[in-house]
Amino acid sequence: MAISPHFWRAVLGLVFLAACNQAPPATDAPQAATPVPGPNLATLTDSAAPAALLAYGRQYPGSEVLVKTRLGNIRVKLYDDTPIHKANFLLLARKGVFDETMFNRVVKDFAVQGGQTYGARTIRLKRYRLPPEFRPAHFHKKGALGMARYDDEQNPGRLSSNTDFYFVVGEKLTPAQSQAMAGRRLSPAQVAAYATTGGVPSLDGQYTVFGEIIEGQDVIDRIANEPVESDKWPINDIPIKVEVVK
């Protein structure tokens, strides 16, 4: 018996409707991001931060970070004897805080500063401050990593910013120049470092140095030579990514 073309069209129509009404194939549901361990940054205050950060540093240690920029990468060693600053830097790096910031102040032959957290062009993170961890062995030679601070008139304890860090650039100094700038007696090793490598001895004992560059000093030199606006912000933004590598 011949089958009418209308029959086949009806059958194909039913198959199409059945296919449309089938449940879509199962797919993996999106996985929620795994929370990064460590204290809640929103709960940290000047008084609560030290104990919380020391506990975090003991539980989640680290010693080296990689600061990534469009001008190259900078590998940095963090000092064990500045444990609060070290743990704070590791915590913010792991939580991706620095990845939302950039180098915001570049002063040739002085320093390049990053991690800005207020202003029109950067994130607004709750600020808490860190107690100073001045160590005579850690000074402002070229390549040193230090933490900035603000509001000195209301900050007699010289508490550090929680996010605004800097790398020292400086310039080479004669022994007489470095001694005069330091305003204190420098060790022979420090005098030699300021003469051969350079730095900014006037910052010694004023700001906490908690690490140093072990690879990528040339990147800092390139950043230091970037053209800047009147407020020392680079004309071409230099975003930052920080990764804990060791």
pLDDT block averages, 10 residues each, the chain of length 246: 38 34 44 77 92 96 96 97 98 91 94 77 71 94 95 87 95 93 90 95 94 97 96 93 94
Q: Which of 120, 84, 66, 111 is nearest to 240 (CA)?
A: 66
Q: Which of 194, 198, 169, 197 is nearest to 184 (CA)?
A: 194
What letter represents residue 118's amino acid?
A: Y
pLDDT at residue 17 in the model? 32
DSSP string, 45-113: -TTTHHHHHHHHHHHS---EEEEEETTEEEEEEEPTT-HHHHHHHHHHHHTTSGGG-BEEEEETTTEEE
Quickly count helices (H) and strands (E) in the chain: 6, 8
The H or E element spanning position 217 is helix 217-224
Domains and CATH numbers, the chain: 63-244 (2.40.100.10)
pLDDT at residue 127 in the model? 82
pLDDT at residue 207 in the model? 95
pTM: 0.83
pLDDT at residue 154 in the model? 85
- Burial of 166 from C-beta contacts in 10 A (0-12 / 13-18 / 19+): buried
Q: Strand locations in the chain, DSSP E?
A: 64-69, 72-78, 103-107, 111-114, 144-147, 165-168, 209-215, 241-244
